[in-house]
Amino acid sequence: MLSRLSIRYKIGFIALIGFIGFVVYQAASYRMSISIRDQLQQIRTDDFAILKFSNDIQVNFSELDKLYQSSLAEADMDLLIEADGRARRMKLDFETLRQTYNIEDLLFHELYSLFNSYIDKTSSHTVAVLGNAVDYERTLEGYAQIGLLRERYEDAQSRYLEDRYRAFENQLNKIEAEEAYMVQFGLVLGAILTLVLGVFSILIIRNLISAFGNAVNVAEQIASGNLTQQIQTVAQDETGQLMRSLHAMRDALTTQSEDNQQRESVQDFLGGLNETMRGDKTLDQLTHGVLEYLCRHFYAQIGAFYLLDSNHLEMVASYAYRIDDTHQTCFDIRDTLVGQVAVEKKPRIIEDVPDEYVQISSGLGQARPRTLMLVPILFEGGLKGLIEIAAFRRFSEDDLYLMRRCNDAIAISVNSAQSRLKVSLMLKQTQEQARELQNQREKLGDINRKLEERTKELDMQNSQLEDSRGELLEKSQALELSGKYKSQFLSTMSHELRTPLNSILILSESLKDNSHSNLSADEVQHAEVIYTAGTELLTLINDILDLSKVEEGKMDIVLEPVRIRQLAQSLVPGAEIIARNKGLEYQVDVAPNVPETIFTDSQRVKQIVRNFISNAIKFTNAGGVYVGFAMPDNETRFRSKSLSLGNSLMVTVRDTGIGISRNVQERVFNAFEQADGTTSRRHGGTGLGLTISKELAVLLGGEIQLHSDGENQGATFTLLVPLDARESVPKALIANVAPAENLPAVTIDSPTVRALLIEDNPVFHQVFKTVFKKAGFELAVAEDGARALALLQEREFDVLIVDLNLPDYSGTRLLSLIRRSSGYDKTPLFVFTAQDLEGSELEDVMMYTNEIIPKSPTSVTRVVDVIEQIRVTAPTLVTPAEYLSVLDGCKILLVDDDERNLYSISAALQRYGCELVLAGSGVDAIEKLQEIPDIQIMLLDIMMPNMDGYEVLEKVRRGLKNTALPIVALTAKAMVGDREKCLKAGATGYLSKPVDTQELLQCIAQHLAEVEISVV
């Protein structure tokens, strides 16, 4: 019976008996655990809470009693009030506990009643005693009653606690008894189940041991290699299935053994091939070795190895193949069967080869092969070559399988051999280059030795100069510091030259003006000569500084829209007068096809073209100077990659002067050189103008071209610049970029400028109204975006000034709505904000605005200047006489350590009624400010000993807390970044020495006017 049952049923029967016992035990256990859980839950929720309350009330009662006693002892009514409050909270705890747990215990009610009696008596008696409402005897009597109530309460409290602990102990004993019964029941039930399960298990195990014994015997026979062992299956249970599985395993092992034999043969084949390819073999050795191995293994009598070279296959190795003029060894892709297999990248076996295809020859004779096998060699999916072998026997699919298996190994070896060949060739080239470099180093060594010898000679010749500069040369031995010391040298020399030059220009200008009419004509002429010479010296200094800035890459480029015709018109007034004084014709033409505007640095373009014009007038004695603006034509040749016919502007300056010989045309662009560089040359100049112009043209992405047929044939200088320089100028040099798409149409062609200010700050309302009124502008004000949009619909405005921080609209949202308003898509719009715009926020704002003007002490005047620049009809310049109303009586503190500057500047300012307070040092300036509180403006020299101008600014702005005083920085050290450094330190203006008198007067008047406005 047991042999007919499966093992799962046998085990299941045993498990069923155990499961029934387990269910019985679990049911009993569950019932008892429910009872125990309910009792434990009652203990947790009721008994523990009541016990905790009892303990707490005992402690709180003790503290309450002490509090009442303290109030009596100290006669402190506050303590009594506190005790009453605590008593009320304890009463509330009693009521809460009784209602929550529905306590009907007589001891609890007795305890509660005694507590109330004690509290009522103690509180009322304490109040009476503190209020002197009872005599001494009644006081003692009250104390006795309170003591008695206290003892009765404490006795009831002890009995209540003892009762609660006794009930808690009884519940725990009951739970313990139930748990003991549960353990006894489990032991009895377990013994019964163990007996029953043991009997049935012995019977089933005996049956299984017999069946598994047979299976183990069969498995041992198979393990020993006897795969012919007979296997009989009788039982119907899992043991019978096991015997059948052993039968299937024997069959599978037989098949696997055959597969292993085949795999071993493949591994032997690949191992032999890898052994043949191992080592750093040349490409010829590798291909011959591989081909010989394959032919021997596949019993092939002939073979060939082809490698891919460009788009054709070339035979590089052969096996038993005779090569002569009648046999082809190189095949194009897709030509012949070899080329076709290479294109398809799939191996192929060709049977029944024709007689005339190929012959296998030996010393005794020759015959055709029966089969042909062609296998492409692939590396990472790409074709590297192809192997072709032929044999008298027929190639099988197993042979093709082996060829596929060895494909990767052959391809990797071929690729490695080719890489080694390339590396070898590169190594040879490197070695040749190394030899060339060695030769160059030797030549450079000779040159260095010659230079060292020349240096020694120069050192000997200039020993005096070297002594004075010894410390500087010692510190500047490192190449990376050369630029720093060069800048320092130029800065110092600029300061030392500009300081005396400042006095020369100011005093000579004052003398040539002859305002008191006390000088003769010769004396005035002498003053004009001095002024002209000083101006030329200033030009030389500026040229040297510009050249230094260009060489150091610190020349700032300001990209902005430039109207060509306006630029051309600006070249007429000054140059035309000079040309006519020499009897020359002067003409400026703009071609019709020139665009309205280009995007470049107008100041740099003017500097270049004016240099061309100045040279042309200087070197022309008869004829004329002709300036032209045009687009390049097909004959124009460009050297710069950023220039082309469609994106370039051509500015030409042609003269009929002395011309330039061809052999010196390139030299004129070198620093300090001219076409006539001899000591007897007729024309002055430093030779720096063209050098600076050439470098500036390159910075703008353009170039300069020179054409002259020779001496006395005139010369033509041509400036070529891109129409849009934003893509050509290095980003590090760009100081400012205005949006090109808005500005071409930005002009104001109206006699009276009508402006709309969109600003929520009333202080700026008043400032703008005052400044615009003086400028002759009409101004309307909108406090928010909604009012601004309404005004745009009601009236017409020529210019808009917009603050970004408004209460109702975000900045970009309002700008977008303004540009979509009818008639305001091209109206000049300036953003007036104190917000620092960066990244995408800056890009969004620049889509709508013509310029961003930061809020600063001079920002309102800056708005006026920008509006004046874009007016078609510019206002007339203010004459010095108009400064009198502002400057007359103005008290100015002039700070300079050079007495010449103090004298010259004070003399110039006193002519206009200014009152000067002079300070010869920074310390003196601080003292003057503290002594004289009504100083209206300070002119501060930056380069001073002990306390320089930056320290003075720091002390004035932060030490004296004087942030309103206008301070104009004066410095002869006009290097890159000086202006920004002064303004950042606290200066409100900046002028470089030598100071132009008119520029100084205008700067002072402007600052005084702004101070007046801010006060208003």
Q: What pLDDT was estimated at residue 918?
A: 92
Outline where DSSP puts E strands in 783-839.
799-802, 829-833
**What is the spatial distance between Cα 893 and Cα 933, in angstroms, rounded to a whole number?**
11
pLDDT band for position 852 (cuts 50, 70, 90): confident
Domain for residue 271, yes or no?
no
The DSSP call for residue 469 is: T
Judge if 100 and 52 occupy the same domain: yes
Which domain range does residue 94 map to?
2-208
Q: What value does the mean pLDDT take over residues 71-87?
A: 83
Q: Which residues are CB-neighbours of 479 under 8 A, at least 6 positions away?
A: none
Contact in structure between 129 and 72 (CB atoms under 8 Å): yes
Q: Write the burial class of residue 139 (CB in 10 Å: 0-12 exposed, 13-18 middle, 19+ buried).
A: middle
pLDDT band for position 641 (cuts 50, 70, 90): confident
Q: Pick from 558, 665, 568: which is nearest to 626 by CA?
A: 568
In the three-class reduction of DSSP (H, G, I as helix; E, B as strand; rest coil), residue 642 is classed as: coil
Residues 944-965 have pLDDT tens digits of 888 889 999 988 888 787 778 8
Q: What pLDDT was estimated at residue 49?
A: 65
Q: What pLDDT was estimated at residue 581?
A: 82
pLDDT band for position 937 (cuts 50, 70, 90): very high
In the three-class reduction of DSSP (H, G, I as helix; E, B as strand; rest coil), residue 270 is classed as: helix
Q: Does the pLDDT of residue 1013 top 50, yes or no?
A: no
Judge if 156 and 71 occupy the same domain: yes
CB-CB neighbours of 360 under 10 Å: 17
Judge if 814 and 895 occupy the same domain: no
**What is the spatial distance between Cα 997 and Cα 1001, in angstroms, rounded to a whole number?**
6
Q: Which residues are CB-neighbours of 805 under 8 A, at least 6 positions away?
A: 760, 811, 833, 835
Residues 86-121 have pLDDT tens digits of 888 888 877 777 777 677 777 778 888 888 888 888
Q: What pLDDT was estimated at residue 483?
A: 55
**Percent of the residues in the chain that have a pLDDT greater than 70, as a whole number:** 77
**What is the spatial distance between Cα 331 and Cα 486, in angstroms, rounded to a whole number?**
68
Q: What pLDDT was estimated at residue 891?
A: 92
Domain for residue 410, yes or no?
no
How much helix, strand and coil, in percent to the nearest 5, is found in the chain? 60, 15, 25
Q: Does the pLDDT of residue 583 top 60, yes or no?
A: yes
Contact in structure between 961 and 930 (CB atoms under 8 Å): no
Specify the range with the lowest mean pLDDT, choosing from 293-307, 491-505, 749-763.
491-505
Q: Write the burial class of residue 608 (CB in 10 Å: 0-12 exposed, 13-18 middle, 19+ buried).
A: buried
In the three-class reduction of DSSP (H, G, I as helix; E, B as strand; rest coil), residue 361 is classed as: strand
Judge if 179 and 283 occupy the same domain: no
Q: What pLDDT was estimated at residue 876?
A: 39
Q: What pLDDT was estimated at residue 1015?
A: 44
**What is the spatial distance between Cα 733 and Cα 604, in angstroms, rounded to a whole number?**
13
Q: How far is CA 615 from the centre of its chain?
A: 47
Q: What pLDDT was estimated at residue 893?
A: 94
Q: Which residues are CB-neighbours of 78 under 8 A, at least 6 positions away?
A: none
Q: What pLDDT was estimated at residue 491?
A: 55
Q: What pLDDT was estimated at residue 650?
A: 92
Q: Count structural domains, the chain.
A: 6
Specify the range with the lowest mean pLDDT, choosing from 272-286, 509-523, 648-662.
509-523
The residue out of 822, 841, 876 marking a domain boundary is: 876
Q: Does the pLDDT of residue 680 top 50, yes or no?
A: no
CATH of the domain at 705: 3.30.565.10
Q: Does the pLDDT of residue 721 top 70, yes or no?
A: yes
Specify the range with the lowest mean pLDDT, choosing from 207-211, 389-393, 880-884.
880-884
**Percent of the residues in the chain that have a pLDDT greater than 90, as a whole number:** 8
- What is the residue type of 88? R
Judge if 777 and 655 occupy the same domain: no
Q: What value does the mean pLDDT take over residues 407-428?
A: 86
pLDDT band for position 298 (cuts 50, 70, 90): confident
The residue out of 340, 375, 395 marking a domain boundary is: 395
Q: What pLDDT was estimated at residue 938?
A: 93
pLDDT band for position 57 (cuts 50, 70, 90): confident
Q: What pLDDT was estimated at residue 651?
A: 92
43-60 residues labelled b (16+ CB within 10 A) or e (exposed): beeebeebbebbeebeeb
Q: Which of 123-137, 203-217, 805-819, 994-1008 has the largest mean confidence?
A: 805-819
Higher model confidence: residue 89 or residue 363? 89
Specify the range with the lowest mean pLDDT, choosing from 357-361, 700-704, 728-732.
728-732
Q: What value does the mean pLDDT take over residues 648-669?
A: 83
Domain for residue 8, yes or no?
yes
Q: Does the pLDDT of residue 490 top 70, yes or no?
A: no
**What is the spatial distance between Cα 497 and Cα 495, in angstroms, rounded to a whole number?**
6
Judge if 695 and 571 occupy the same domain: yes
Q: Does the pLDDT of residue 991 top 60, yes or no?
A: yes
Average per-residue pLDDT in the chain? Answer: 77
Specify the range with the lowest mean pLDDT, choosing from 111-115, 258-262, 809-813.
258-262
Domain for residue 272, yes or no?
no
pLDDT band for position 433 (cuts 50, 70, 90): confident
Q: What pLDDT was estimated at residue 493?
A: 61
Judge if 179 and 285 occupy the same domain: no
Q: Does the pLDDT of residue 1002 top 70, yes or no?
A: yes
**What is the spatial distance between Cα 525 and Cα 15, in angstroms, rounded to a whole number?**
133
pLDDT band for position 545 (cuts 50, 70, 90): low
Q: Does the pLDDT of residue 836 top 70, yes or no?
A: no
Specify the range with the lowest mean pLDDT, choosing from 111-120, 264-273, 438-447, 848-857.
848-857
Q: What pLDDT was estimated at residue 746?
A: 54
Judge if 758 and 838 occupy the same domain: yes
**What is the spatial distance between Cα 575 and Cα 610, in angstroms, rounded to a whole number?**
8
DSSP letter for each residue of 212-244: HHHHHHHHHHHHTT-TT-------SSHHHHHHH
**What is the spatial distance between Cα 790 and Cα 783, in angstroms, rounded to a whole number?**
12
Q: Does the pLDDT of residue 929 top 80, yes or no?
A: yes
DSSP letter for each residue of 947-968: S-HHHHHHIIIIIS---SS-EE
Contact in structure between 278 and 265 (CB atoms under 8 Å): no
Judge if 857 and 890 occupy the same domain: no
Q: What value does the mean pLDDT take over residues 378-406?
A: 88
Domain for residue 249, yes or no?
no
Judge if 601 and 696 occupy the same domain: yes
Q: What pLDDT was estimated at residue 741?
A: 41
- Predicted TM-score (pTM) of the model is 0.35
Q: Does the pLDDT of residue 739 top 70, yes or no?
A: no
Terminal alpha carbon distance of the chain: 121
Q: What pLDDT was estimated at residue 630?
A: 92
Judge if 824 and 933 occupy the same domain: no
**What is the spatial distance between Cα 332 and Cα 311, in angstroms, rounded to a whole number?**
6
β-strands 624-630, 648-655: how paired?
antiparallel
Strand order in the sheet with 891-895: 915-919, 891-895, 937-941, 967-971, 989-992
Q: What pLDDT was estimated at residue 919?
A: 92
pLDDT band for position 563 (cuts 50, 70, 90): confident
Domain for residue 593, yes or no?
yes
Q: Does the pLDDT of residue 422 top 50, yes or no?
A: yes
Q: What pLDDT was estimated at residue 718?
A: 92
Judge if 733 and 764 occupy the same domain: no
Q: What pLDDT was estimated at residue 800?
A: 92
Higher model confidence: residue 300 or residue 871? 300
The residue out of 554, 572, 588 marking a domain boundary is: 554
Contact in structure between 629 and 564 (CB atoms under 8 Å): yes
Element (H, E) at 331: strand 330-332
CATH of the domain at 789: 3.40.50.2300
Domain for residue 118, yes or no?
yes
Domain for residue 470, yes or no?
no
Specify the range with the lowest mean pLDDT, choosing from 206-215, 386-395, 430-439, 674-683.
674-683
Q: What pLDDT was estimated at residue 758?
A: 93
